[in-house]
Amino acid sequence: MTGWLEGKTVRVIGSDPALADALAKAGATIVTDDTADCLVHVARAEQTRLAHHLSYDEWRGAIAAGLDSRFEAAKAFNGAKRKAGSGGAILFIGSPEQQAGAEQAAAAGALGNLTKSLAVEWARDGVRVNTVLTNDGGPALGAMAAYLLSDYAAYVTGAVMGIGVDD
């Protein structure tokens, strides 16, 4: 995976220092603006709560963090790519829906559909959109992210995949 992202710039939204480090080791330059070649949006599930204990505000907060903020970032990224006349790659990273509460499951399920819809719509712009659902922040995620953002995955778009964690 060394060199897979050589010459590419990546913007990482959300906190995942290990992921940013893995992308840098793959050759990427981490940047903070929409001129990046690739966008990675990390939003992992908060504390799991039973559905009957959730308030409406907690429900909406999870949907906003797990879906709305991703859409807004992706829309801005695609707009910049269209304006520049260049393609790019978007990677959403979140928690598996089966390991989170109802609000997280709803956001992850909607994220899967959003990923597929944006992939179809933005393919004409040369922008690929994929999602990885995992609780692993280790080497497997770094390798998967580097691959999906690289030119080796030039024909991979609309994929929603998971990475399991060995206990």
Average pLDDT over residues 7-36: 92
E strand segments, 5-152: 9-13, 29-31, 38-43, 88-94, 127-134
Q: pLDDT value at position 35?
A: 87
pLDDT at 161: 93
From CA 33, how far away is CA 103, in angstroms rounded? 30
pTM: 0.92
Per the model's pLDDT, the better-predicted residue between 1 and 38 turns out to be: 38
Percent of the chain with pLDDT over 70: 92
Mean pLDDT of 47-74: 86
Q: What is the CA radius of gyration of the chain?
A: 15
Strand order in the sheet with 88-94: 29-31, 9-13, 38-43, 88-94, 127-134, 160-163
Instruction: Answer positive or negative: Cα dihedral of 33, 129, 124, 114.
Output: negative
pLDDT in tens, 63-90: 888 899 999 999 999 999 999 999 999 9
Which domains are delineated in the chain?
9-163 (3.40.50.720)
59: confidence class by pLDDT, cuts 50, 70, 90: confident
Please compute the mean of the pLDDT values over residues 155-159 and round it to a whole number: 97
Helix, strand, coil content of the chain in percent (nearest 5): 50, 20, 30
Distance in angstroms (rounded) separating the CA atoms of residues 22 and 111: 24
Nearest Cα neighbor of 2 from 30, 29, 37, 27 is: 27
Mean pLDDT of the chain: 89
pLDDT digit string, tens, across residues 24-36: 999 999 999 878 9
